[in-house]
């Protein structure tokens, strides 16, 4: 039997990573075999690409190179990890996916969101679609406060982009939450438990 594919999305500092762990634990409690993936990353090559995108100092990728690197990392993890796990009946919980490219490189960097969607389609094995997408929303102040608390001064290449960039990214996520099938927008400003409960109520019917 085919497994399920669940995606968590949201701006920097929205708490997706914590929530992905919470969700995986709840699913395991229900007896599900769960594979967690973070994007960019999830295979040896994709983790190397992640470092190239986020940590390049002297020759940071320009916006087009950055976009194609995110897509290369996605192509690798989608075909090598996500699709086979679903095929094997597992649940895949993915921390970021195609919607991040539409939000950050589309709305944020200013490339056409529909071109970003076409590139995503090219990067993925045919027919690979999430069964559910939870967009966690936080205001810009939360993004900046949580980034500052977590990293001090060592922001990565994406986080260094300015306030307007992050405002457009957030709007890009909110728009996609409204237009994506099987998606919902979740308030990420409450406690970890409250957000986790809201995500669980959304995902539970898939079990």
Q: State the residues that interact with ligand TYD by CB under 6 A.
A: 12, 17, 38-40, 70, 96, 100-101, 104-105, 158-159
Least Cβ distance, residue 20 to ligand TYD (angstroms): 10
CB of 207 to ligand TYD, least distance (A): 26
Residue 194's alpha-carbon distances to 8, 28, 53, 105, 106, in angstroms, are: 16, 19, 33, 30, 30
Q: Considering the complex, state which of residue 47 and residue 131 has its C-beta at the smaller distance from ligand TYD.
A: 47
In the complex with ligand TYD, the residue whose CB is nearer, 32 or 161, is 161
- The residue assigned the tokens 């969700």 is 23
Distance of closest approach, residue 3 Cβ to ligand TYD, in angstroms: 21
d(CA 188, CA 88): 32
Shortest approach of ligand TYD to residue 185 CB, angstroms? 18
Which lies closer to ligand TYD via its Cβ, residue 29 or residue 179?
Answer: 179
Look up residue 196 and give its two tokens: 């986790």
Question: How many angstroms separate the Cα of 186 from the Cα of each of 10, 53, 63, 176?
Answer: 9, 28, 29, 13
Cβ closest to ligand TYD, residue 147 vs residue 185: 147
DSSP strand pairing (4-9 vs 132-137): parallel
Q: Give whichever of 101 and 196 is closer to ligand TYD, judged by the CB atom.
A: 101
Contact at 8 Å (CB) between 138 and 189?
Answer: yes
Q: How far is the CB of 31 from ligand TYD (least distance, A)?
A: 28
Structural tokens at position 17:
């990573």
Residue 2 vs residues 57, 84, 86, 93: alpha-carbon distances, Å? 42, 10, 6, 14
């Amino acid at each position: 039997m085919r497994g399920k594919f669940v995606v968590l999305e949201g701006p920097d500092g929205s708490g997706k990573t914590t929530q992905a762990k919470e969700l995986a634990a709840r699913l395991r409690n229900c007896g599900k075999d769960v594979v967690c993936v973070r994007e960019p990353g999830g295979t040896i090559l994709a983790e190397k690409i992640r470092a190239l995108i986020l940590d390049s100092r002297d020759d940071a990728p320009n916006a087009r190179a950055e976009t194609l690197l995110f897509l290369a990392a996605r192509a690798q993890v989608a075909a090598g990890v996500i699709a086979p796990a679903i095929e094997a009946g597992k649940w895949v919980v993915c921390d970021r996916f195609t919607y991040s490219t539409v939000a950050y490189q589309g709305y944020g960097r200013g490339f056409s969101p529909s071109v970003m969607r076409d590139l995503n389609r090219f990067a993925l094995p045919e027919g690979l679609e999430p069964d559910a997408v939870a967009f966690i929303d936080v205001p810009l102040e939360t993004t900046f406060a949580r980034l500052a608390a977590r990293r001090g001064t060592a922001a990565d290449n994406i986080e260094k982009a300015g306030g307007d960039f992050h405002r457009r990214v957030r709007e890009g996520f909110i728009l996609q939450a409204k237009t994506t099938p099987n998606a919902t927008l979740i308030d990420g400003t409450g406690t970890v438990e409250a957000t986790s409960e809201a995500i669980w109520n959304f995902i539970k019917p898939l079990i």
